[in-house]
Amino acid sequence: MKKNFLLALAVAGMFTACNNADSDSRVKELENRLAALEAEKGSAATTVSQDAPQLVTEQNANTAPTGPVAKIEYQETEYDFGTVKDGEVVTHTFKFKNTGDVPLVIQSASASCGCTVPKKPEQPIAPGATGEIQVRFDSSNKPGIQNKTVTVTANTDPAITRLAIKGTVEPKASAAVSTEGPVRN
């Protein structure tokens, strides 16, 4: 992105410069600055501070965690709500059990779009105990086949599990159109 910005500046500089010698030197200067920025970016990417927080990405979240982990066992991981009319709200509760030896902590539950809202337990789930993740889907202005995903991140192996909610939303009925033409008195 910086490269495109600098190139745009160089092109703009060419059109506003009084002579070609100034433009050429400006382009060279911008190219040198770009090369320096890219070199700086490359060295910054290879040097990671030990104090820097580790970001949880899907790649490192799926790696086996160190230490004891909880085990989550869902009653179901997919729910088909069938066919609903546009505007209806569908709610489903995914039930699970912690079958591990340590408390289960659900760090996040996020949906694939804004029309789907998951609600996760805020407290740890003790070994042997059960819990629920409630998922709410608002079908307003979502006609057709729907496949929504909820990504759950927890202290489990693997760290990420997915729940699915699917079905079909019937579009709103459109106003009836008369085929007889205008009404005469």
Strands 78-85 and 116-119: unpaired
Token pair, residue 114, equals: 């804004």
Q: What is the pLDDT of residues 85-141, one digit of tens each?
A: 999 999 999 999 999 999 999 999 999 999 999 999 999 999 999 999 999 999 999
Q: Region 148-159: what's the mean pLDDT?
A: 96
Residue 173 has pLDDT above 50, yes or no: yes
Query: Residue 113 contacts by C-beta under 8 Å, 6 or more apart in sequence?
Result: 148
Residue 49 has pLDDT above 50, yes or no: no
Token pair, residue 123, equals: 């407290």
What is the model's pLDDT at position 62? 47
Q: How far is CA 174 from the centre of its chain?
A: 33
Q: Are 151 and 135 a contacting pair, CB within 8 Å?
A: no
Give the number of other Cβ atoms within 10 Å of residue 159's Cβ: 19
What does CATH list as the number for 66-170? 2.60.40.10
Q: How far apart are CA 39 and CA 31, in angstroms?
A: 12
Q: What is the chain's mean pLDDT, rounded?
A: 76
What is the model's pLDDT at position 48? 36
- Sketch the domain layout of the chain as residue ranges: 2-41, 66-170
Q: What is the pLDDT of residues 7-41, one digit of tens each?
A: 444 444 444 333 444 556 666 666 666 666 666 65
Residue 183 has pLDDT above 70, yes or no: no
Q: Are 94 and 75 a contacting pair, CB within 8 Å?
A: yes
Q: Region 144-169: what's the mean pLDDT?
A: 96
What is the model's pLDDT at position 68? 80
Amino acid at 70: A
| Listed residue (153, 66, 157, 58) closest to 107, CA to CA | 153
